[in-house]
Each structure stands twice: as C-alpha cells, then as structure tokens.
C-alpha cells in the first residue's frame, strides 16, 4: 500500500485513461446500456429496458446520507432507499423530468446501437421490503441490486462491486490498523479517503476499494464480450447449458441461479474471461449435445487468445470473477500450467480469500461463494505443486478459511421436478467437499516429505532414513485410511447408490477423478518410502538386498498392493466415467501410476520381480490405449501413455538383474519368525504375495498368470497393508 495515492497498487503504469463522464461499468456485472442508464436508476413503467429514468438530482434524504439515489420500477416515484427506510421522499412532489439522451442513447428505452442480440427485456424483479440477509435462492432482487450498484444500503458485496475492486489491507502495510479504526465510517462501513474508499467488513479486516475506470483495458470490456459471443454465436446458450450439466456439478464455483438470470438479460453483464472460460470448457462436450453435434465447433484458438488478453486486463481490477475464470481455464486439457496458479493465489490474497469471512458484513451467499473459491484455489495450488514438482504457495500459517459445510452452497440449483439434476448436483457437492479433504492430506504429505528441508532431514539420517520416513508416514497413512473408509456412499466407485427408474443409466459421472486422486496420494506417499530404501542402502554402502530384508519386503509389498489397486481402478473405468469432467491433475495422476510402476521395476532386487513389473506396465499401457478412444478421455490417457513410454524406455538401460531363488531372495523373512518368503511361481517366474493377508489383514493378491490386475476397491488391501507394519529389527511401529 505504498504507491502514490492516485495510482492503484496493482497498476503497472503511471498514466491512467481519463475517467468517463458517466459512472463506469463494473466488470462482469452490467452492460453498456445498463451503466449508461444507472444515472437514471430504474426505468419508468412505460419503458421496456431493464432500467428506468430518475431525476438528475438525488432526493434530499439521499443527499443527506451521501448515497446514490435510485428509483424503483414500480408505480411510485419514491426512490428505493426511501422505500426501504420508510421515509418520505422529496421526489414524490417533484415534476416529471423530460426524457433525455446520454451519448446518443435514449434513456426511455435504454437501447444503444451496441445492444446485444437476443437481449432479454424482462425487468428486474422488485419487492417492497427486501431482506439484506436473503440467500441467492430466495432473494434474486437483492443480489441484482448488490451487483448492480444501487443504493449503498443494498450494495453490500465486496468481491463483485459494479465499478470498484477491492484490495485487502494487511497488517504490515502503510495503513496502520490503529489509525484505520480512527477513520469515520458511515452506516455502511465505508470511509472515503484521498487514496480510495475504506470498507470495513469486520473488527479486524478492512479493504481498500478503488475505481475500475483507471485500470488498463477497462474501456475494451464490452467489445471483448461481444467478440467472445460472436465466436460461439448462435450456440452460446447451449454451451452454457452444457457447462452447468457436465462441469458445474463436479466443480461448483459459480452461482448457477444468478448466472442464468444475468445471462437472460445480457452476456455483457459477465467478465469477458469468465464467459470465454465457460465456453472453452463446454466445447469439450460439443458432441454430447444433440442440439450442437450437427454444427461445426467454434474456433477455440480465437477464444483462447481472447481469454488470455482479457484475463490479463482483469488482473488489474481483480474480483471474484477473475479467480473463477482462472480456475476454470486451468481445468482445460492444456491449462495446467504452474505460473498462472501463482498469479491466482496472489489475486486471491488481494481479495482476502485466505481469510475467515464467516463474520464479515457481506451477504451470506457471498460468504459461501468465497469459501468455495478459496478451497478450489487451495486444491489448485496443492495438486499443481504435486504434478509440477514445485513448492506450494499456500501454507497453514496463513490460511484461515473454515471447512466447507452444506450451507456454503446455494439452497436451490435444480428444477424441483428434475430428480436426476438434483441428485447429480448433490453428488457433485459431496465430491467437491471430499476432494478438499483429500487435498489437505496431500498437502501434509508434500510438507512432510517433499520440501527441501524435509528431504535434507531424511538424507542427513543416513541408513536410518527409512525408519524416519516410516515414523512420519504412519499418522498420514492412518488419515488416508480413515478418509477412504468414511467416503459417502454417493461417491464410491462400488456404490449401490442408484438413480430413479426414469433416470438414464448412462449419465456421466465425475467421481473417477476423486478416486484417481486418492491413488495418486497413496502413490506419492509410498514413492517416498521406496526412495528411502534405496537411499538407506547407498548410505550404508551395501546393496539394497542386504538392508533389513524384512523391512524391504514389507515396504515393497505394500507398494505393490497400491500399484495393483490403482491399475485395477483404471481398468474398471467405463465410458460414463471417461467422458465426464476430470479435474486438471487427472492426466498426470494417470501417468503417476505408470511412473510408480517404473520405480518399482527399477528398484526390484531380482530379475523375476522386475519382469513382473514389466508385464504389468505393458498391461497398463494397453488399458490406457483402450481408454483413449475418441470421446473417452483421450487427452487424459494419451499423456499417461506418452510418459509411460518415456519411463520404460529409460529402464531398458538398466543393467541386468540377478535371478533370485526362493531361499536366496531378499524376502527370505522366515528367520524373523514371520510369514514365508517372497515366492516365485508360474511359468514366467512371476511372484505371488502369498503371505500378504496374514500380516496386513488384506486378501492375498495372487498375481501369477494374471491378465489384468484385480483387487477389491474398498477392502483392506487399499487402506491397511502399509498401516499394519509390525515392529521388528528396530523399525518403528507405525500402525495399530
């Protein structure tokens, strides 16, 4: 907050464009026709525009309160503020003002030459006594006013202001919190300063509100929206329907009801990058719509060019719609880049998304939206850190967002008569909340094992590195076990959760991305354990086969069980799963299964075990190739196949491994008084984990002669093998 007062902190240029004479438009909230008409409030009853005319001068009550005076669209001449406060309005005695023009636009009809085609002429609904605490489902009028820039008493949103954007004032900026508290705040918790307007949302949290009009690209917003809509015309509405049918249930970061209401009025009411991002995602399911499949697809490259430029402009005046656009763009097949994630985190911190907004003086629906966006960004950061191998930007010490609860989602987002839609939205909300919880466990794994400091600590432990890793892994593994066992029935792969008889059985289901993320999380944990075995062996100056054979046997068998389960999961995916929406990290998560198998192949102590992994990876590649048929997750599995080919190609340069007999195997653990050794069976010499069930509680995974790996989806082979390591040879007991 140390920049000159005339320049917003985020603006990189010193000279801003000259402000227009009329109140500027708020990005993503109102179109050109609307903000020209805002000077006259709502339309007169004989007008067919969403807005009506008002006196050039405010009423006496609004002048005294220093707030904007906006007329109601009913038959009374009193302004909205006076109606709400129950006071007399001086405009009641004022003569009717002649209709006039602003910049060539007739205020009576509110139309301009750039009126969008198909613009709805429906008036904004009004109520006599609107409640400021209404939710999105029950008070559309209040939301419209909050996003319209009406009287300050109604304009209570923070992240979706019409003509202003917000910047969180942190505790170390040049704004001293003690001095802020001395500032005179009006009844609407705002205080006008030379630098901007302070907005106090709680006793501890204050924002600086700055105008949009002096930010780069502001004057091009409506042109950009027109260009975007022109590319998809006349299929914009069908693409919106596709998005909310396929993507939104599994990734609920928008307000569906409000979105449709605004879209019916005009697409110009939306932030251009958000509109383009929705269209780009929806086009991926173009062939899934009977109404679209007969037409050629819009030019996605033009949309991507527009979305890049418009999003860059929007970052100078960040709003919640900016974060929404960035998150949606990251979900497209080629959108999982790391640098944009850092930008999104920075923008979210500007908007205060990392804070606890539970007690803020903002509408309840905005609190829920902020929490959903915050956790969606958290997921983006953590999974981005995993798939790109980069340090995370979000840390627990600076994260105060409360856990999601059902009330954080809109009350109604479905047709009451559409049982299928209701079921899918409810399942999607459960899916989203479970993914957030899993991401928190992933974050703990990354912080415990994959930070530079954590890796150095294990390296410094030398031969005891594996023991240290296992002791740290125990509580995390138990959390994973508890998370999986507590999965709600609606999002289980083996669920008996059935739809009503009239619902088609071939509906798309996005629950696959949640289960794939679970296996990727397990693999990320076991990957570190396998690496520690090799590092401990190198530190002790011995070969891997002579380092605590029983410990190695247990760890490798547990890792093998995870690999079998994950491959089995991929093998059981159906077109209904593969054609659905997949989270952005999914294509890398598919690849991580192959990478994990390659690691186990490379670290196999003997030729027979290495050969088993070679065969299993061959089968996995075949499964991926089958799943890559057009329309069935092609982008996901093709990337995984490419990475698998690279890793297996590198393995061909490994020196030939020795052949291990039954008695000479590294898994000869009979001397420890435990189960039998790692046995070799079958013509090809492939092994079977004959003793697995006796020490882990998991069923035996007999894999000799298998054509495709199979393992129970939810049995203890997925959540107890590793968790029940016994205590022996000084190894810490990491599960009970």
Quick one: what percent of the chain has pLDDT higher than 70?
A: 65
pLDDT, tens only, 548-589: 788 889 999 999 999 999 999 999 999 899 999 999 999 999
Q: Domains of the chain: which residue ranges?
A: 1-23+162-450, 451-485+509-657+673-724
Residues forming a β-bridge with 79: 71
Average pLDDT, the chain: 74
Each residue's pLDDT tens digit, 96-130: 443 333 333 333 333 333 333 333 333 333 333 33
- Asked if pLDDT for residue 91 goes beyond 80, the answer is no
At CA 277, angle to CA 273 and CA 283, rounded to 5? 145
Is 648 or 156 the better-scoring residue by pLDDT? 648
Q: For the residues 483-488, what does the mean pLDDT come to?
A: 96
pLDDT the model gives residue 83: 66
What's residue 697's pLDDT?
31
The answer to whether residue 140 scores a pLDDT higher than 60 is: no
Q: Which secondary structure element, helix H or strand E, spans residue 102, and what is its range?
A: strand 101-102
> pLDDT tens for residues 370-402?
999 999 999 999 999 999 999 999 999 999 999
Task: In whole angstroms, give the CA distance from residue 406 to residue 384.
Answer: 26
> CA 257, CA 414: separation in Å to the nearest integer?
9
Q: Is the pLDDT of residue 598 over 90?
A: yes
Q: Which helix (H) or strand (E) holds 520?
A: helix 511-540
The SS3 call for residue 210 is: strand
Q: What is the mean pLDDT of residues 299-325?
A: 95
Using the predicted structure, report yes or no on whether residue 42 has a pLDDT greater than 70.
no
Termini Cα distance of the chain? 53
Whether 62 has a pLDDT exceeding 80, the answer reads no
d(Cα 167, Cα 1) in Å, to the nearest integer?
Answer: 9
3 state DSSP class of 449: helix
- Stretch 50-57: mean pLDDT: 40
pLDDT, residue 629, reads: 55
**Burial of residue 306, with CB atoms counted within 10 A of its CB: 0-12 exposed, 13-18 middle, 19 or more buried:** buried
Work out the average pLDDT over 328-354.
91
Q: What one-character-per-residue DSSP string does 27-83 give?
A: TTT--HHHHHHGGG-SBPTT--SSSB---SS--HHHHHHT----B-SSS--SBHHHH
Q: Is the pLDDT of residue 275 over 50?
A: yes
Q: Is the pLDDT of residue 660 over 90?
A: no
Tokens of 404: 């999601």
Cα–Cα distances in Å, from 697 out to 153, 477, 483, 494, 703? 63, 16, 18, 20, 18
Task: Identify the CA nearest to 37 among candidates 144, 143, 112, 118.
Answer: 112
CB 724 within 8 A of CB 695: yes
Dump pLDDT digits (tens) for 519-546: 999 999 999 999 998 886 666 555 544 4
Which helix H or strand E contains 621, and what residues bound it? helix 607-627
**Given this model, what pLDDT does residue 336 score?**
72
**Nearest partner of 318 among 368, 239, 360, 373, judged by Cα:** 373
Max mean pLDDT among 10-19, 66-75, 349-358 falls in 349-358
Residue 257: is its pLDDT beyond 60? yes
666 pLDDT band (50/70/90 cuts)? very low
Q: What are phi and psi of 191, to 5 degrees?
A: -140, 120
């Amino acid at each position: 907050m140390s920049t000159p007062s005339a320049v917003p902190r985020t603006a990189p240029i010193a000279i801003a464009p000259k402000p227009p004479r009329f109140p500027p438009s708020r990005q993503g909230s109102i179109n050109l026709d609307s903000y020209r008409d805002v000077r006259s409030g709502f339309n007169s009853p004989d007008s067919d525009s969403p807005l009506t005319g008002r006196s050039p001068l405010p009423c006496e009550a609004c002048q005294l309160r220093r707030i904007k005076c906006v007329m109601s669209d009913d038959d009374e001449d009193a302004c909205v503020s006076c109606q709400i406060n129950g006071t007399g309005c001086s405009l009641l005695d004022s003569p009717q003002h002649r209709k006039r023009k602003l910049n060539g636009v007739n205020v009576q009809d509110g139309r301009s030459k750039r009126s969008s085609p198909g613009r709805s002429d429906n008036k904004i609904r009004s109520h006599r006594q609107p409640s400021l605490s209404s939710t999105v489902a029950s008070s559309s009028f209040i939301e419209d006013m909050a996003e319209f820039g009406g009287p300050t008493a109604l304009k209570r949103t923070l992240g979706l202001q019409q003509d202003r954007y917000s910047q969180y004032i942190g505790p170390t900026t040049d704004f001293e919190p003690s001095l802020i508290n001395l500032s005179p705040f009006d009844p609407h918790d705002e205080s006008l300063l030379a630098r901007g307007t302070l907005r106090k949302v709680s006793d501890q949290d204050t924002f600086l509100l700055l105008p949009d009009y002096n930010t780069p690209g502001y004057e091009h917003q409506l042109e950009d929206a027109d260009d975007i809509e022109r590319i998809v015309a006349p299929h914009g509405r069908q693409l919106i329907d596709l998005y909310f049918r396929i993507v939104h249930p599994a990734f609920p970061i928008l307000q569906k009801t409000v979105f449709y209401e605004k879209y019916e009025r005009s697409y110009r009411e939306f932030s251009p990058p958000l509109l383009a991002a929705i269209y780009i995602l929806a086009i991926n399911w173009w062939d899934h719509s009977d109404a679209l499949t007969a037409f050629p697809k819009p030019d996605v490259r033009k949309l991507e060019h527009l979305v890049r430029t418009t999003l860059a402009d929007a970052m100078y005046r960040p709003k919640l719609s900016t974060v929404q656009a960035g998150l949606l763009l990251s979900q497209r097949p080629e959108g999982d880049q790391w640098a944009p994630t850092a930008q999104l985190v920075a923008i979210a911190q500007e908007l205060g998304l990392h804070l606890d907004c539970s007690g803020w003086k903002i509408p309840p629906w905005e609190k829920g939206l902020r929490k959903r966006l915050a956790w969606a960004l958290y997921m983006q950061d953590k999974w981005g850190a995993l798939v790109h191998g980069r340090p995370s930007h979000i840390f627990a010490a600076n994260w105060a967002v409360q856990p999601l609860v059902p009330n954080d989602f809109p009350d109604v987002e479905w047709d009451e008569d559409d049982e299928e839609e209701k079921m899918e939205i409810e399942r999607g909300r459960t899916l989203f909340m479970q993914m957030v919880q899993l991401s928190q466990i992933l974050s703990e794994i990354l912080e415990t094992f994959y930070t530079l400091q954590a890796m150095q600590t294990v390296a410094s432990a030398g031969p005891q590195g594996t023991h240290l890793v296992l002791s740290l892994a125990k509580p995390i593994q138990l959390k994973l076990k508890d998370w999986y066992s507590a999965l709600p029935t609606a999002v289980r792969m083996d669920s008996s959760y059935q739809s009503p008889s009239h619902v088609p059985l071939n509906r798309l289901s996005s629950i696959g991305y949640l289960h794939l993320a679970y296996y990727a999380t397990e693999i990320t944990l076991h990957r570190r354990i396998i690496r520690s075995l090799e590092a401990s062996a190198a530190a002790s100056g011995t070969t891997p086969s002579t380092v605590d054979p029983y410990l190695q046997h247990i760890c490798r068998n547990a890792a093998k069980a995870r690999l079998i389960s994950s491959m089995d999961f991929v093998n059981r995916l159906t077109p209904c799963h593969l054609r659905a929406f997949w989270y952005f990290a999914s294509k890398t998560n598919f690849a991580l299964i192959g990478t994990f198998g390659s690691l186990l192949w490379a670290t196999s102590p003997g030729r027979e075990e290495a050969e088993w992994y070679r065969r299993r990876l061959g089968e996995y590649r075949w499964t991926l190739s089958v799943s890559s048929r057009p329309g069935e997750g092609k982008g996901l599995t093709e990337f995984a196949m490419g990475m698998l080919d690279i890793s297996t190609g590198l393995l061909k340069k490994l020196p030939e491994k020795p052949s291990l007999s039954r008695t000479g195997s590294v898994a000869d653990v009979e001397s420890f008084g435990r189960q039998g050794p790692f046995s070799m069976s079958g013509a090809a010499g492939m092994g079977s984990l004959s003793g697995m069930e006796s020490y882990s509680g998991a069923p035996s995974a007999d894999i000799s002669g298998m054509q495709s790996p199979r393992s129970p989806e939810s049995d203890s082979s997925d959540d107890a093998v590793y968790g029940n390591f016994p205590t022996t040879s000084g190894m810490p007991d990491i599960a009970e």
